[in-house]
Amino acid sequence: MIFPLTEAQLSAWCSAFYESPQNRLAQNVCTARDPINMCQRSPADLCSDVSGGKTWHEVDSQKKATSGGPGWICTGLDLLRQEMDKKMPLPADFELSAAHLFFWHKLERCNYFLWTVADLLMQCEPLDGRCFRNFMKNAVPDGGNWQMFKNLVKKYGVMPKKCYLASQRSLKMNSILRSKLREYASMLHAQFTFNGNGNRLPELIQEMMPHLFKIVTICLGEPPEVFDWTFYDHKKRYQLLESLTSVSFYEVMVARTIDLEAFVCLGHDPRMSSSSQLNYQIAHSSNMIGGEPHRYNNQSMDVIIPIIVDSLVGGKPVWLSCDLCSRFSSKSGHLSLQSHSFDLMFGLRVGETLTKAERLLYKESRRDSALLLTSVGLDSMQQPVEFRTLSASSIGESLSTGSLTEVDEDQRKKVKAKEELRKKATKNQATSMDVSWLKEYAFEIVVHEKFVPPGVIHATKITKSKELPAWDPMGALLK
């Protein structure tokens, strides 16, 4: 059936539109300003929705958020630093190096790409198949997930930020790497077709990797193998630790306090195709040969919310994977389902009709960002009302939060000046979210197992899992 637009229809719609003074006012406003910002409710209006006081339970979050890399790496390092600080109080400005893990993420991902291409060729995956095309499209992404973070830390350790201050410019490097990786994929395919088997592919990959290492090292600079760490402790005493490696630093300063294997990854996928308490694994979702792929146990929000609350009340922060793109955030840094009144401007509801499962099915929503929850506000009935993250810098892209984009020097100065003003305005201000927002736009948490019920722990230990394709929204990489 074909129903083309006609002049009569357009004329009728236009007449009806201009008959309304409210439509003309809305048009004047939205053609001169951002339509979404114009629909935003004022902080005072939002506060009027909340009645009663809150009892806050906070993990120590006075330190500044980690910067200098992708959000998923920075959030993971913030989680480690919280535990480090309990063993030995750290300087207020202490940060772990996100650039260090980012360097090894890029190199490991290049190696993972080549070996996965070889594996796909051995499985006779067609070049025009969706799996191969998706892998070529996402050859060397900046994004990641919890398992990727854990893979990097366990193999390469961590180091203080001041010991490795690398360039954040990765846009052009990614372009070069993608070009070479696709070229190498073509060479591997040609060799496989010529020989009819994959016997020579490992040899070719070994010849390709030094060239990719050269590109990454030239663009980012290689992290030091050995370094010294000097700092003033919380009592302002000068301290010097010499001849450290990133692995030894991790083993001494981090691993004795926090066990990464004790953390559990729980997801919430409400689609009819996904079963509760079942383990799911995303295909081709690692950044390292032999590393863990993205894997989670599916649970309802009725199970996940109490676990988050118990962890925060118990003094442990929670890694949260959520959707910050498809829901409109306010300038105040507060995430709420009632943050905008689109009906006043457009006369219709926006972003409220589809369920969480429908948003996943129709590509309206997906996990895309990592935040670190550090506080929970409980009402008089001890029910969660509001959550807070480590800092306001968790939302939005900026130079200081690791926006890995290439900008010219003049633009960089403007961005830096604007960022300094933003820092002054939002100093020590945490991003907050209503519990109703979290239920709708949170898709995964990583939490210490001691706050997880025994039945859920047992479900996560089951080896069997259902595999989801790499393009599934639950496997989307975090910024």
* Structural domain harbouring 273: 47-475
DSSP state of 249: H
Q: Has residue 7 been placed in a domain?
A: no
Residue 348 confidence class, pLDDT cut points 50, 70, 90? confident
Do the bridges between strand 263-267 and strand 295-298 make them parallel or antiparallel, or are there none, so unpaired?
A: parallel
Q: Has residue 420 been placed in a domain?
A: yes
**pLDDT score for 379:** 87
- Count of residues for the chain? 479
Q: Has residue 439 been placed in a domain?
A: yes
Bridge partner residues of 265 (DSSP): 446
Q: What is the mean pLDDT of residues 362-370?
A: 90
Name the domain count of the chain.
Answer: 1
Helix (H) or strand (E) holding 378: strand 369-378
Q: What is the mean pLDDT of residues 178-183?
A: 95
Torsion, CA 84, CA 79, CA 372, CA 431, rounded to 10: 30
**pLDDT score for 338:** 81
Residue listed under structure tokens 């010991």: 163
Residue 479 confidence class, pLDDT cut points 50, 70, 90? confident
Helix (H) or strand (E) holding 388: strand 384-389
Helix axes 21-32, 7-18, angle to 10 degrees: 90
Model confidence pLDDT, tens digit, residues 225-239 = 999 988 777 777 787
Q: Has residue 305 been placed in a domain?
A: yes
- The C-alpha atoms of residue 128 and residue 457 are separated, in whole angstroms, by 40
Torsion, CA 239, CA 244, CA 248, CA 253, rounded to 10: 20
- The C-alpha atoms of residue 99 and residue 222 are separated, in whole angstroms, by 10
Taking each continuous run of H as one helix and of E as one strand, the counts in the chain are: 17, 13
- The C-alpha atoms of residue 309 and residue 157 are separated, in whole angstroms, by 30
Q: What is the mean pLDDT of residues 212-231?
A: 91
Radius of gyration from C-alpha coordinates of the chain: 25
Model confidence pLDDT, tens digit, residues 403-433 = 333 334 455 554 454 444 444 433 445 688 8
Model confidence pLDDT, tens digit, residues 188-199 = 999 998 887 878
- The C-alpha atoms of residue 298 and residue 128 are separated, in whole angstroms, by 32
Max mean pLDDT range (24-38, 188-202, 259-273): 259-273
Q: Has residue 111 been placed in a domain?
A: yes
- The C-alpha atoms of residue 144 and residue 135 are separated, in whole angstroms, by 14
Q: Is it the case that residue 382 has pLDDT exceeding 50?
A: yes
**pLDDT score for 393:** 40
**pLDDT score for 310:** 95
275 vs 401 pLDDT, higher one: 275
Of 230, 233, 89, the C-alpha closest to 163 is: 230
Q: Has residue 6 been placed in a domain?
A: no
Measured in degrees and rounded to the nearest 5, phi and psi for residue 58 equal -125, 135
Model confidence pLDDT, tens digit, residues 453-471 = 999 999 999 999 999 999 9
Q: Has residue 17 been placed in a domain?
A: no
Q: Please tell me the pTM assigned to this model.
A: 0.87
Residue 326 confidence class, pLDDT cut points 50, 70, 90? low
Q: Has residue 98 been placed in a domain?
A: yes
Which CATH number characterizes residue 144's domain?
A: 3.90.70.10
- The C-alpha atoms of residue 146 and residue 285 are separated, in whole angstroms, by 11
Instruction: Return the number of other C-beta atoms located less than 10 Å from residue 48's C-beta.
Output: 10
Model confidence pLDDT, tens digit, residues 110-159 = 999 999 999 999 998 899 899 999 999 999 999 999 999 999 999 999 99
- The C-alpha atoms of residue 319 and residue 75 are separated, in whole angstroms, by 7
